[in-house]
Amino acid sequence: MEITFLGTSSGVPTRNRNVSSIALRLPQRSEVWLFDCGEGTQHQLLRSEIRTSQLRRIFITHLHGDHIYGLMGLLASCGLAGSAQAVDIYGPEGLGEYIRACCKYSYLSFGNRVQVHLVSPGLVYEDNEFSVSCELLKHRVPAYGYRITEKDKPGPFNVDKAQSLGIPPGPIYAKLKQGQIVTLADGRIIRGMELCGETELGRKVAYCTDTIFSESSIDLALGADVLIHEATFAHQDAGMAFESLHSTSTMAAQVALAAGVKQLIMTHFSPRYTPANGLDLKDLLEEARAIFPNTKLAYDFFSYEVPRNRSR
């Protein structure tokens, strides 16, 4: 699992930062999942090493323009480039109407290639390897945070031990490798986990933007390997944060601390923080690290490989 930040500015793009979008690369299945798609995201993808032909799912947090204005252009370009794979899009109420209106007035048709799924708190998506859930955050419009959970995997399968037990090779081995319980033809019951090494624990990533400090953010991030949290404002500008329902650097750090995460990565920074204005992003980083030391600042094209957990 590799996270690549395609846009880390809030509200408007800057010379060095585009607006919100994050790509999650899943190399084991040659898929890319996108979280938010601000204006210019497809240009950021072209400047990265991410292949749009692998784009499979897009998760939208809310319908503010800096999180969705790049969606239609990206989908249209994928189709025109011949990358006509199916794309599932998840997001709040109104997302389907937005996409249909854009298609109507730009004379665009996706056919059955694009499917829209409206989300509500709880499970959003699940397959054999991953699940995605969401929680409602606190913002000026309905906004959701997402939690991506990789499922635990059985350790290496001990073929020698299986053969010593007289278990015939074939489809049975595949089931045992998955940790399943199998009944043999002679009536013996074999537990796959007893033939596998230590379990590889699944990784967990939480994405919380846009929101003021929220208990929902803590619930979403509980025990996560990585928490990606907005930090639009510095602590001294908390008044603006409460007025706009965005977070400060210290709020992001407090969520990380309360949730017991391993790594906090802050993003969605106000363009106001530059050395010329007295405060820059290094100051926000120092504020957060005073509360939660294991904090990083995201920047456009920053990639972070989520470490594998130790087996148990």
pLDDT digits (tens, 9 = 90+) for 288-305: 999 999 999 999 999 999
Query: For 84-95, what is the mean pLDDT?
Result: 91
pLDDT digits (tens, 9 = 90+) for 262-289: 999 999 999 999 878 889 999 999 999 9
Q: Is 66 a catalytic site residue? A: yes
Q: What is the pLDDT of residue 82?
A: 56
Asked if the model's pLDDT at residue 215 lies above 60, the reply is: yes
- Residue 311's pLDDT band, with cuts at 50, 70 and 90, is low
Residues contacting 89, CB < 8 A, separation 6+: 57, 58, 59, 60, 71, 95, 99, 114, 115, 116, 117
Rg (CA), the chain: 22
Q: What is the pLDDT of residue 310?
A: 62
Query: Which is it for strands 130-136 and 144-150: parallel, antiparallel or unpaired?
Result: antiparallel
Residue 288, token pair as written in the block: 């957060």
Q: Considering only 77-91, 101-115, 128-142, 246-260, which range has the smallest mean pLDDT?
A: 77-91
Q: Are the C-beta atoms of 39 and 65 separated by less than 8 Å? A: yes
Homologous superfamily (CATH) for 2-153+199-305: Ribonuclease Z/Hydroxyacylglutathione hydrolase-like (3.60.15.10)
Alpha carbon distance 57, 114 (integer Å)? 10
Q: What is the pLDDT of residue 61?
A: 98
- Residue intervals of the chain classified under CATH 3.60.15.10 are 2-153+199-305
C-beta atoms surrounding 166 within 10 Å: 9
Does the N-terminal peptide bond of residue 280 adopt cis geometry, omega within 30 degrees of 0? no
Asked if the model's pLDDT at residue 154 lies above 80, the reply is: no
Query: For 95-114, what is the mean pLDDT?
Result: 92
Asked if the model's pLDDT at residue 241 lies above 70, the reply is: yes
Q: Are the C-beta atoms of 181 and 162 separated by less than 8 Å? A: no
**DSSP secondary structure code for residue 276 in this structure:** G
Residue type, 145: G
Q: What is the pLDDT of residue 195?
A: 85
Q: What is the pLDDT of residue 81?
A: 57
Q: What is the pLDDT of residue 28?
A: 83
**DSSP secondary structure code for residue 168 in this structure:** P
**DSSP secondary structure code for residue 27 in this structure:** G
pTM for this structure?
Answer: 0.89
Active-site residue identified among 36, 66, 225, 237: 66
pLDDT digits (tens, 9 = 90+) for 26-83: 988 899 999 999 999 999 999 999 998 899 999 999 999 999 999 999 999 887 655 5
- Residue 194's pLDDT band, with cuts at 50, 70 and 90, is confident
Q: What is the pLDDT of residue 112?
A: 84
Alpha carbon distance 188, 194 (integer Å)? 14
Asked if the model's pLDDT at residue 185 lies above 80, the reply is: yes
